[in-house]
Each structure stands twice: as structure tokens, then as C-alpha cells.
Amino acid sequence: MRLPLLLSFLVSTSAVFAQQSSSDYLVKTNGDTLRGRVQLNSGKGTIRLFRPGQPAADFSAGEARSYGGARGPAGVSRLVGRQGTPHFVVPLVEGPVSLFAGENEQRDKRFYLQVPDSSYVIEVQPLTYQLTLARQLGDCTTLEIGSNAFQRRYPYSQSHLAALVMDYNRCRTPQAPSHLVKHDSGLRAAWGVKAGINSVRFDLNVPSFANGPHTGTVGYQAGLMLNLYGRSHFSAQMEAVYTTLRSAYGQFDLYAYNSGSPTNTVTANVHYSQVQLPLLLRYSVGHGVFRPFVNAGPLVAVNFGNTSTTSFPLTKMADQPIETGTLNYGYAAGAGAWLKLPALPALTAELRYSQLENNGEKVNFNAYNVVKCQLIRLDVGLLF
């Protein structure tokens, strides 16, 4: 079965990211180093530091010198322009001439150069980048700045400008070290287990089943989850969840429905299992003890163990199978909360709605078929 392989992949992947889960750092302008969890305040030009047992604190680029994690710096403070204001920028190349990436006042992505003996960085705008480069790097004639060959070799992109700065430093100061910066992206992972109950409603290819009594709808699910998060409120969650689905319909007078003469009744008992594989985009509020969230995303399910049948209690007709297909596609959306206490796993609870449809594969058109199922589930879990 594919389930053990998938669960093994989730566990091994989470173990890799867990090695990067050490706390972030922030260096203040006075040299003090603070440790905790760093979150970027998008659009405000500040960063927020969360430390256990202390209130969250915001720092501007004038108050913090740098921040990052175990793999290196994620951002540094630099003065933009001789008379400008400090901004947080991401280091890309470190050397006699250094290169950074960041956003300008209009929140447009830009690149910045810092030349030797300069305390500020120079913005490289896309429309005039060759003119800026000619002024700052024009003393290396082998680069042929302004030529057609230069434009083809060094277009306005991160990788090409990084290569340009590295080539310039080798040209002008080959004895000085120059290297690409390995910065900390802030990506972290939390893996966990979850379990819960569900209630499902099926749409069969005989719609009038839905008009009969609907009973026995409770199933259960259990599985693993992997949450990948960074320095924002957004995260991505992958899951592999074993789910049982069941429901009973009846009694429905089938022939009266078809011909108007009551001659037989039929009941439907739907019961099968599936592995659900959702990929969810999650938005969480806050980084404190209690963190509400909402999420949504696509969902794929692999069906197996189908024992669904229709029965005819007034005749001696044999039970007929109800087909489900192998793959179902759909979507899932839910809301819940994390409860995160210091030194303990996070306790999660979520109420989720999912809708799945048959992928259109050919099934026996003479048999009853599950066309669609709608699922409401309640999960609790632990994130480590």
C-alpha cells in the first residue's frame, strides 16, 4: 500500500526541517543579541520578535542591525542613499562590492549595491540599471557595460546581478574574498498526529435516495500532518489521513419512482475507506499561546476497501455493489486553533468541510455509483 511510504516521507521530511528549527536571533544597534521567533511585518518595514514569557516587540531598521537564524542572516539594516533612511535588505553577495535585495518605498522589489568605503547602499532601478552599473562598476573594462553582450549576459535579475558583482570583484580585487551569502529563509517545520470523527453525505447516481432516511453517517479518521511555516502568518500544511466513510439510505421505493407502481423497495449502505491527501494554505493569527487559523486547498483521495451495496428487502434479489471509483478530487476548507504552551507540543483542533467527486473514470453504468461526497470532520491533534 502507498500509505506507509507516504507517512515515511512526511516523517523524514519533517525531521530534515526540524534540524533548522532553532530560535531566530536579532542584533540591536547597540550590539545586544536577542533570541526568539522573528516575524516580518509586511508593508510596515519592521520586524516583530516573540520571546517566551515576554510581550512581542517591534523593531525598525533604525533599531536593529540584523536578524536571522541558524543558517545565517535573513536581513540586515542599511541606509538607502547618502541622505536616505535605513531599510531591511537581504544580503546576496558579500565582498568589496556587496549586493542586496529588498523593497523600496513603493514596495517594489529592488537590488542595492554597496561599494567600498561606503556607509550606504545605492538602489539599482530596472529602467536605468546599466547607467547605475556603469557609474559604480565601470572601471572594469572587461565587463563591457552597455554593450549588447553585457545585456545578454547580465539582465536585471537576482542570479545575473549576483554573478555580475562576483565577476567585478574578481576583476578589481582578486585578492579580496567575495562570496554568495547563505541566508536563513526562516522556513521551519512542525510535524504531528491527528484523529477525529466525520459525518458524510453521498450523492449517488439515483438522486432520490437522498429523499429517504439517512442514518449511520459517523466515520473516523487518523493520520499525520506536516506544517511548513516561515516568518509570516501564512503556512502550508500537508496531510496523509486514513478515513472511513459510511452512510445508509432507505427504504426507497425504486420502481414506484421509475414507473409509478410500487413493487419494490431498496436500501443503500455505503461503506469504504480512503487516504485523503490535502495540500492547504493556512493563515494563523498571532504567535502567542492561542493561535486561531483558517485554511483551504485542493484535496486528492485514494479509495479502497469498498463494501458498499444496495439491498432489496421485499424480494430475493441479490445485493448489488455500489461503485466508488479509485481516485476522487475536490477541495477542503476549515477553521481551528493552536494552543501552544512553552516546552510542550501544540494542541490543535479544527472543524473542516471537504467535497470530493469521482474523477470521471469509467465505472459500471448498470450499477449504482457514488458521484460525490460531502464531508464534515472534527479533528484534534498534536504538533511537535
Domain ranges of the chain: 24-180, 188-383
Distance CA 377, CA 369 (A): 23
Residue 271, CA distances (Å) to 108, 131, 316, 377 in order: 54, 70, 22, 16
Given a cut of 70, the residues of the chain with pLDDT beneath it are 1-22, 42-43, 206-212, 252-264, 287, 315-316, 359-367
pTM as predicted: 0.69
Distance CA 23, CA 13 (A): 19
**pLDDT at residue 18, rounded to an integer:** 39
**pLDDT at residue 297, rounded to an integer:** 98
**pLDDT at residue 6, rounded to an integer:** 45
**pLDDT at residue 344, rounded to an integer:** 84
**pLDDT at residue 252, rounded to an integer:** 63
**pLDDT at residue 206, rounded to an integer:** 67
Distance CA 44, CA 61 (A): 11
**pLDDT at residue 325, rounded to an integer:** 86
**pLDDT at residue 320, rounded to an integer:** 84
Per-residue pLDDT tens digits for 343-365: 789 999 999 999 999 865 555 55
Kindly report the CATH number that applies to the domain delimited by 188-383: 2.40.160.20
The closest alpha carbon to 229, from 286, 267, 277, belongs to: 286
**pLDDT at residue 3, rounded to an integer:** 45
**pLDDT at residue 208, rounded to an integer:** 60
Q: Which DSSP category does 291 fall into?
A: E
Q: Which three cell numbers stand for residue 19?
A: 534540524
Cβ proximity of 34 and 40 under 8 Å: no
Residue holding cell 515576554?
54
**pLDDT at residue 33, rounded to an integer:** 95
For strands 98-103 and 86-94, give the pairing. Answer: antiparallel
Question: Environment class of residue 79 by beta-carbon count within 10 Å: exposed (0-12), middle (13-18) or buried (19+)?
Answer: middle
